[in-house]
Amino acid sequence: MSSLKRGQSGLSGVLLVDKPTGMTSHDVVNIVRRATGEKRVGHAGTLDPLASGLLVVLVGPATRLEPYLSSKSKGYEASIRFGSQTDTDDSEGAVLAQAPVPTDVLSTTRAHDVLEGLLGKSMQMPPQYSAIKVGGKIAHRVARSGGVTELAPRAIDVMSAELLGVDVADQTWRVRFIVSKGTYVRALARDIGLAVGSLAHLSALRRVSSGALSVTQSHSLERIEQAGAQGSIGSLFIDPVAALDVRVIEVASDAVSDGRPLNLATAETSSADELVAISSVGRLDALYRSRGQRLVPEVVFATPVARAL
């Protein structure tokens, strides 16, 4: 008789999904739950229904990797349409106001100048339609009921803002951004509109990367459902070490099963507070962190996470 509890599949891995537009991240999670037979499924970094692209989905005990994967920088291809502001800062919202679009805004020279000014660290005011919780209430729920949440600006970092093109007829810029965790591209679009003396909102968004991971590595929901029906969904998992983008240390299969610290010499060289992956026989057993002269456990997996080697 199987020792697995109800809702447990024995699977533990990282699955990259190419989320279509019109679907929530939670909808994707539910599809993966059905395909795997695993109740413990989560994701690292929410995508709005408007957005498509890379969603990192975690299956089984691998859900414990979420804090480490959500903190990665994100890459997006965005369309920013000038001339109107919406209550959600994207094309799904109601139009609040309209404004003329200065002719120079639709020149590549002006676009390059504005985008260059966005680079670096700054404070960003999040949209009212966001999942931020204040006083136990979620901002977007308050906004939908006609209320306003007192949101605080958040520290963000725009690492790259590359102009992909200008559509004069559609009054739209296409931009590829690389941004830090917690950055709202919708809010970037809103603020760009104000910066050029007009109004703007996000008309399309596609996530193309998350840390070292690319949307080119992802699978469609149809492919995932097919693999689930065939019992081969584990073959779609990626190497979690590649997802984490950390150094890996190979050890004996039982070296960390009880969460014991490791001598720093095991790591050969290690910088202070470095996170390292502990691996054996093609699986991720644990995450350890350097502390003084030892490596100490941060996450130990009772069921190791599968590696694609």
DSSP per-residue string spanning 9-37: -S--EEEEEEEPTT--HHHHHHHHHHHHT
Q: At what angle do helices 185-195 and 108-118 cross, to 10 degrees?
A: 120
Among 210, 225, 259, give the residue marking a domain's end: 210
- Best CA proximity match to 295, nearest among 272, 234, 192, 8: 272
Residue 221 is part of which domain span? 7-72+211-240
Only one residue has tokens 């073959």, namely: 235
| Cβ neighbours for 256, distance < 8 A, ≥ 6 positions apart | 262, 278, 285, 286, 288, 297, 300
CA-only gyration radius of the chain, Å: 22
167 among known catalytic residues: no
d(CA 255, CA 261): 9
Task: Please state, for a pLDDT cut of 70, what percent of the chain lies above it.
Answer: 95
Query: Which residue in 18, 27, 48, 239 is the catalytic one?
Result: 48
Q: DSSP letters of 145-194?
A: TT----PPPEEEEEEEEEEEEEETTTTEEEEEEEE-TT--HHHHHHHHHH
Check whether residue 108 and residue 196 sit in a common domain: yes
Task: Note whether residue 1 is domain-resident.
Answer: no
- pLDDT for residue 3: 47
39, 60 in Cβ contact below 8 A?
no
Check whether residue 115 and residue 185 sit in a common domain: yes
pLDDT digits (tens, 9 = 90+) for 65-81: 999 998 889 999 999 99
Among 200, 225, 240, give the residue marking a domain's end: 240
Residue 227's pLDDT band (cuts 50, 70, 90):
very high
d(CA 27, CA 242): 26
Residue 2's pLDDT band (cuts 50, 70, 90):
very low
For the cut 50, the answer to whether the pLDDT of residue 1 exceeds it is no
Check whether residue 80 and residue 170 sit in a common domain: yes
Provide mean pLDDT across the span 284-306: 88
Residue 307's pLDDT band (cuts 50, 70, 90):
confident
Indicate the helix (H) or strand (E) that contains 118. helix 108-118
Q: pTM of the prediction? A: 0.90
CA-based torsion, 238, 241, 243, 245: positive or negative:
negative
Helix (H, G, I), strand (E, B) or coil at 257: coil
pLDDT digits (tens, 9 = 90+) for 10-53: 899 999 999 999 999 999 999 999 999 999 999 998 898 999 99
Task: Name the domain count of the chain.
Answer: 3
